[in-house]
A = this chain, B = another copy of it.
C-alpha cells in the first residue's frame, strides 16, 4: 500500500476486493462510480468495536471493506436479536439517517464511510454508484424477509443449514470461498442470536449436522461436505427459487 495514500485516508482499491466485487455483482459499475468510495474516509476497527447505535444520527453510510460485522437489536432484558450478519463487501448501514439498530464488528475490520450528502451529490455524475447502493439495499430487504421465514417456520436444523448456505453463497459472490470450505468467524452464541436459538441448542444442532456428514463448523471455518443434502435440509422450503439478483433498487424508480 502507498504510505502517502494511507496517510491521507485514501487506500487504493483493487478489483479483487470484496467490496468492489459486491458492487459490480449487482450491476454495471464504472471506475468513476467506485471513486466515490476511494475518496471517502477509510478506517480500521478491532473486533467487537461498536460502529453505531440505535438512535445515532450519522450522516454517513458505512461499508464493510474487510472483516465481519453484525447489525442487531436489544430487548431491555438483555436478549439480543441479530438482524443480519455482515460479510466483507456488505453495506453496513444505517439505512435511515438515524439508526434503528446497533452495529458492531465481529472481527478486526476495515470500514469505509461515505457521506449521504456525497451519495446524493454524485447521483448525477456517478449514477452507477447510487444504483448499486439501491440494489444492495434491495438484497438486504430480501435477506431480511428470508430470515423472517426461517425464524417463523423452520426448525433449528433447517435454520442452521439455511444460514450456512446463505453465507456460503454470499461469500462465493465476493470470491471468498475455496472449494467447499470458507471462513466463518462466528461464535455459537452469535449464530444463536441470529437464528433465535440458544447457544446450547446451536451446539447440539451443529453436532447433528457434523454426525450426518453434512457440514463441519468450528475453529472459525465451515466446511460443507454434502451440499445437495444440506440444501434439502435447509429448504424444506423455497417455493420457486427466484434466480440471481437484478440491478434494481427497491421499487427501483427506473
Contact = CB atoms under 8 A, between A and B. Distances in A.
Interface of A: 54-55, 61, 73-77, 79-81, 83, 95-98, 100-101, 116, 119-120, 123, 130, 133, 137-138, 141-142, 144-145, 147-149, 151-154, 193-196, 235-240, 242, 246, 248, 250-254
A126 to B, nearest CB: 12
A79 B116 CA distance: 41
- Chain B CB within 10 A, most for which of A133, A147, A149, A195: A149
Copies in the complex: 2
Given A97-B246, A251-B95, A54 B116 contact: no
A35 to B, nearest CB: 17
A63 B107 CA distance: 43
Nearest to A144: B144
B195 A76 contact: no
A100 B251 contact: no
- Chain B CB within 10 A, most for which of A97, A119, A142, A194: A97
B73 A149 contact: yes
B151 A76 contact: no
A130 to B, nearest CB: 6
A237 B54 CA distance: 13
A83 B148 contact: yes
- Chain B CB within 10 A, most for which of A119, A193, A250: A250
A83 B149 CA distance: 8
Contacts of A123: 253
A80 B81 CA distance: 22
Given A75-B239, A240-B54, A246 B148 contact: no
